[in-house]
Amino acid sequence: MSTPHIHAELIHYWADGGEVEYQSRIDGSWYSYCQPTWNPENIYRKKPIPKPDIVKQYFVSLGGCGEYTMWAGVDRCNTPNVKLTFDAETRQLKDVELIK
**pLDDT reading at 35 higher than 80:** yes
Each residue's pLDDT tens digit, 2-33? 889 999 999 999 999 999 999 999 999 999 98
Buried b (16+ CB within 10 A) or exposed e, 68-98: eeeeeeeeeeeeeeeebeeeeeeeeeeeeee
State which residues form the domain around 36: 8-46
Residue 2 located in a structural domain: no
Residues sharing a CB contact under 8 Å with residue 62, sequence separation 6 or more, in sequence order = 69, 70, 71
End-to-end, the C-alpha distance of the chain in Å comes to 68
Residue 74 located in a structural domain: yes
Residue 3 located in a structural domain: no
Each residue's pLDDT tens digit, 41-95? 999 999 998 899 999 998 887 766 655 556 666 667 778 889 999 999 899 999 9
Kindly state whether residues 94 and 58 are assigned to the same domain.
yes
Kindly state whether residues 61 and 30 are assigned to the same domain.
no
Residue 80 located in a structural domain: yes
Kindly state whether residues 38 and 64 are assigned to the same domain.
no
| Per-residue pLDDT at 61 | 79
| Per-residue pLDDT at 51 | 92
| Per-residue pLDDT at 59 | 85
| Per-residue pLDDT at 68 | 56
Residue 28 located in a structural domain: yes
- Number of folded domains in the chain? 2
Residue 36 located in a structural domain: yes
What mean pLDDT do residues 31-40 have?
Answer: 90
